[in-house]
Structure 1
């Protein structure tokens, strides 16, 4: 079974989701606090090994008009480093409004406590990124 790691890259936190490519299903996994890059890559490498990840899918943020933002460039640099540090295929998908969509889903289905915890939003955004990838590969 091929496991895929979905990543919602943020300036403070990185939301993670696990997915199964054969079933096109994904689940919230974890939120990493962004410290220095080296400890972040060590943590990601441990997760990849522990979960036997075969592929990574990361959301690329853009302005609504399609233009790149400062965060877009940061994510592209992050992808290059992921490739060199982990040696896995890293694919990208458009992540337009995934955090907004995640917050909307939590508002309609979860307690206020879950909504206040930004980690839940980050993980759900990573799930939405993975689901978007799965929809394009069917």
Structure 2
């Protein structure tokens, strides 16, 4: 079985969400507090191996003109370093960069509407990113038929 994992990458925290093994639904998994890149990558690698992740979806903020923001460029550098880290360990997963411009705001609103107060919304934001990516993927497959 394979799963997709989504990352909502921030300067201090990374929200992690996973799909079910059929890649139909997404759910918040956990929040990782960033330390050194190496320690953070080791922690993410542990999830990839434990959960059988085949695809990693990384949220990248896009501005109104459709271009990556400065933060988006920093996230891309993080992703490149993570890819190199995985490659050095012989781990192969597919990476997908996905527009996540309003995922955190959406996650905060969702939690507020549910009457839940959470300090970290990052894993919920990652689950929303993953849900959108899974829906887009399904739609593309249906169009191919």
Aligned length: 133
Cα displacement string for residues 57-82 of structure 1 (whole angstroms, at most 9, x for unaligned residues): 11111223323222111111122122
Q: Which runs of 4+ in 1 moved over 3 A?
A: none
- Is the Cα contact below 8 Å between 2:16 and 2:30 reproduced in 1? yes
Q: Which residue of 2 aligns with 1:137?
A: 137
SS at match of 1:137: helix
Q: For structure 1, which runs of at least 5 residues remain unmatched after alignment? A: none
Q: After the TM superposition, which residues 1-138 of structure 1 pair with which residues of structure 2 at under 5 Å, given as runs?
A: 1-20=1-20, 22-86=22-86, 87-112=92-117, 114=118, 117=119, 119=120, 121-138=121-138
SS at match of 2:65: coil
Distance in 1 between the 2:23 and 2:53 partners?
Answer: 15
- Is the Cα contact below 8 Å between 2:15 and 2:31 reproduced in 1? yes
Distance in 2 between the 1:23 and 1:89 partners?
Answer: 14
Instruction: Please state how far the C-alpha of 1:21 moved relative to its aligned partner.
Output: 6.1
Normalized against structure 1, the TM-score is what?
0.89
Provide the alpha-carbon RMSD of the alignment.
1.4
Larger radius of gyration: 2
Q: CA 1:21–1:95 in 2, change beyond 3 Å: closer, same or farther?
A: farther
Normalized against structure 2, the TM-score is what?
0.85
- Is the Cα contact below 8 Å between 1:9 and 1:58 reproduced in 2? yes
- Is the Cα contact below 8 Å between 2:63 and 2:69 reproduced in 1? yes
Q: Which moved further from structure 2: 98-107 or 34-43? A: 34-43
